[in-house]
């Protein structure tokens, strides 16, 4: 009863009102402190979650930008993860489901053996696999099993490095060395054989002269082959080694000079060289290399044309490009040879080409020269009717005053 009277006294007096206000203020302040602490903890948790999400997004972005294919398989060989490169290399489509089984989407027995071996031995394995999807791909495959924090081995990580281009380069290099060795060996063997024959005293003067002519012809072919190999090596070093020799020149004048160099061979076969062109086609070029390319094409046309035939050279401007076409009415090239004629040492008729002094490098040199000038070369041919080689080169834009004059 006394406590109640004291309480009402406090409520009824100003002093009591102040005490009650102080009590509730402390109570509310304590609640606010608790609420602020909880909010701060929640904000820290939110920041931590955002940080984790940002890291995951960065990891996904890096994974998607990798040129290597990355695949993660679960214990049943279902795809837990496959980045963009892996999907492209293995021809995996999103239409095949979110987590398809790799044994259903990729048909490759050696890959399955590799996965089984890694799971069985729990040791990393590297192996080069060839895929046909349908294009041929050579993939250096690195496979390993991933362990969790308790050391339990679970998913399998596969990393695929595309080695197709490097493998193709190695194949081309081996073929080039083999072909070059063979081409060099042929004239050297002939020179050596006839030189040994000349050392005997039983040969008459006519036979000696004939043997010397053969030696001279093979020596010329050997020199030509070495010159072509050196020129190819120079061209393959890229424009940085040659760009200093580029200058703006009239392509028509370079063609005329090239035709003069071919005139003697044309006269030997009574072949007419006909040039149809405008007065000027300004091109940024290495004139010596461009002249070499045109000479190679025209000499080929002369070589494979019958006597008394016509070899036509046409030049035509096409807006910002110029087209140069060398046309003959010779034996032509069959369709199955056309994709390969610009390859080094490729010959349509090997025996005939060698007998006529060809090295098998002429068209390859032409292709490299034209590509060096940011141009393109193509061929159309009909067996028994002739061939047309077409070069397209970028023109140098004329100054505004010259364009007004031309109009």
The predicted pLDDT at position 16 comes to 47
Q: For residue 301, what are the CA distances in angstroms to 49, 265, 322, 325, 364?
A: 73, 11, 21, 11, 15
What does the alpha-carbon distance between residue 182 and residue 187 come to, in Å, rounded to a whole number? 9
Top-confidence residue, 18 or 328 = 328
Q: Evaluate whether 375 touches 392 at the Cβ level (below 8 Å).
A: yes
The parent domain of residue 207 ranges over 175-236
Q: Evaluate whether 391 touches 377 at the Cβ level (below 8 Å).
A: yes
Summarised one tens digit per residue, pLDDT across range 243-281 is 567 889 999 999 999 999 999 889 999 999 999 887 788
Cross-strand bridge partners of residue 159: 70, 142
What does the alpha-carbon distance between residue 100 and residue 92 come to, in Å, rounded to a whole number? 9
Top-confidence residue, 270 or 153 = 270
Most confidently predicted of 91-100, 213-222, 266-275:
266-275
Instruction: Kindly state the helix (H) or strand (E) to which residue 272 belongs, with its residue range.
Output: strand 272-276
Mean pLDDT of 381-406: 75
The predicted pLDDT at position 309 comes to 92
Mean pLDDT of 223-238: 77
The predicted pLDDT at position 169 comes to 80
Residues 228 and 337 in one domain: no
Residues 110 and 223 in one domain: no
The predicted pLDDT at position 401 comes to 44
What does the alpha-carbon distance between residue 193 and residue 179 come to, in Å, rounded to a whole number? 21
What does the alpha-carbon distance between residue 348 and residue 334 come to, in Å, rounded to a whole number? 9
Q: Is residue 81 helix, strand or coil? A: strand
Q: Tokens for 349, please give them.
A: 């008729």
Q: What percent of the chain has pLDDT over 90?
A: 23
Residue with tokens 């409520």: 11
Give the burial class of 103: count Cβ atoms within 10 A of its Cβ; 0-12 exposed, 13-18 middle, 19 or more buried. Answer: middle
Residue with tokens 């996904």: 60
Cα–Cα nearest to 231, from 298, 286, 188: 286
pLDDT for residue 237 is more than 80: no
pLDDT band, residue 383 (cuts 50/70/90): confident
Residues 134 and 79 in one domain: yes
Mean pLDDT of 39-61: 60
Residues written for the chain: 407
pLDDT band, residue 214 (cuts 50/70/90): confident
What does the alpha-carbon distance between residue 215 and residue 193 come to, in Å, rounded to a whole number? 9
pLDDT for residue 241 is more than 70: no
Tell me the pairing of strands 376-382 and 310-318.
unpaired
The distance of Cα 85 from the centroid of its chain, to the nearest Å, equals: 17
Q: Which range has the worst mean pLDDT, 13-17, 86-90, 120-124, 139-143?
A: 13-17
**Domain final residue, candidates 184, 201, 236:** 236
Give the burial class of 381: count Cβ atoms within 10 A of its Cβ; 0-12 exposed, 13-18 middle, 19 or more buried. Answer: buried
Write the CATH number for 209.
Answer: 1.10.287.130
Is residue 282 included in any domain, yes or no?
yes
Q: Tokens for 76, please give them.
A: 């049943």
Counting the structural domains of the chain, the total is 3
Q: Which range has the worst mean pLDDT, 34-38, 122-126, 253-257, 368-372?
A: 34-38
Q: What are the backbone angles phi and psi of residue 272, rounded to the nearest 5°?
A: -95, 130
Is residue 294 included in any domain, yes or no?
yes
The predicted pLDDT at position 3 comes to 43
Residues 219 and 81 in one domain: no
Summarised one tens digit per residue, pLDDT across range 278-314 is 778 899 988 888 999 999 999 999 988 999 999 999 9
Packing angle, helices 205-236 and 164-198, rounded to 10:
160
The distance of Cα 260 from the centroid of its chain, to the nearest Å, equals: 38
**Domain final residue, candidates 187, 212, 236:** 236
Summarised one tens digit per residue, pLDDT across range 311-352 is 999 999 888 899 999 999 988 888 888 888 888 877 776 555
Give the burial class of 396: count Cβ atoms within 10 A of its Cβ; 0-12 exposed, 13-18 middle, 19 or more buried. Answer: middle
**How far apart are the two ends of the chain, measured CA to CA in Å?**
120
pLDDT band, residue 404 (cuts 50/70/90): very low
Mean pLDDT of 141-168: 83
If one counts every other C-beta atom within 10 angstroms of the C-beta of residue 145, the result is 19
Write the CATH number for 267.
Answer: 3.30.565.10
Average pLDDT, the chain: 79
pLDDT for residue 22 is more than 80: no
The predicted pLDDT at position 357 comes to 54
What does the alpha-carbon distance between residue 363 and residue 297 come to, in Å, rounded to a whole number? 7
Write the CATH number for 118.
Answer: 3.30.450.20
The predicted pLDDT at position 48 comes to 53
**Does the predicted model carry a pTM greater than 0.85?**
no
**Domain final residue, candidates 236, 260, 285:** 236
Residue with tokens 């406090």: 10
Residues 273 and 379 in one domain: yes
Residues 96 and 192 in one domain: no
Looking at beta carbons, which pairs linking 116-122 to residues 24 or more positions away fall under 8 Å?
A: 118/143, 118/144, 118/145, 118/156, 119/145, 119/156, 122/153
């Amino acid at each position: 009863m006394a406590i109640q009277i004291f309480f009402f006294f406090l409520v009824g007096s100003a002093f009591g009102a102040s005490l009650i206000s102080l009590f509730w203020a402390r109570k509310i302040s304590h609640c606010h402190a608790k609420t602020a602490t909880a909010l701060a903890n929640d904000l820290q948790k939110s920041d931590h979650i955002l940080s984790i999400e940002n890291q995951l997004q960065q990891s996904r972005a890096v994974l998607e930008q990798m040129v290597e294919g990355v695949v993660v398989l679960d214990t049943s060989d279902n795809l837990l993860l496959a980045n963009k490169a892996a999907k492209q290399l293995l021809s995996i489509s999103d239409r095949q489901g979110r987590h398809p089984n790799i044994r259903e989407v990729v048909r490759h027995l050696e890959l399955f053996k590799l996965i089984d071996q890694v799971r069985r031995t729990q040791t990393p394995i590297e192996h080069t696999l060839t895929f046909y999807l349908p294009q041929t791909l050579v993939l250096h495959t690195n496979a390993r099993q991933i362990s969790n924090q308790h050391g339990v081995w679970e998913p399998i990580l596969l990393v695929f490095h595309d080695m197709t281009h490097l493998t193709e380069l190695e194949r081309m290099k081996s073929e080039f060395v083999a072909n070059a060795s063979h081409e060099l060996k042929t004239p050297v063997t002939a020179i050596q054989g006839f030189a040994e024959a000349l050392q005997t005293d039983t040969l008459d003067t006519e036979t000696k002269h004939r043997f010397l002519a053969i030696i001279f012809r093979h020596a010329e072919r050997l020199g030509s082959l070495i010159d072509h190999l050196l020129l190819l090596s120079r061209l393959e070093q890229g424009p940085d080694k040659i760009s200093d020799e580029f200058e703006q020149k009239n392509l028509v004048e370079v063609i005329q000079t090239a035709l003069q160099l071919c005139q003697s061979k044309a006269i030997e076969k009574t072949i007419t060289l006909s040039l149809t062109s405008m007065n000027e086609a300004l091109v940024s070029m290495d004139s010596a290399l461009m002249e070499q390319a045109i000479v190679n094409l025209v000499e080929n046309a002369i070589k494979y044309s019958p006597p008394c035939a016509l070899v036509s050279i046409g030049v035509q401007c096409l807006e910002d490009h110029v087209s140069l076409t060398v046309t003959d009415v010779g034996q032509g090239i069959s369709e199955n040879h056309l994709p390969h004629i610009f390859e080094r040492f490729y010959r349509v008729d090997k025996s005939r080409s060698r007998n006529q002094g060809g090295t098998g490098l002429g068209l390859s040199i032409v292709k490299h020269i034209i590509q060096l000038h940011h141009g393109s070369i193509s061929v159309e041919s009909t067996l028994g009717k002739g061939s047309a080689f077409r070069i397209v080169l970028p023109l140098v834009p004329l100054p505004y005053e010259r364009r007004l004059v031309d109009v």
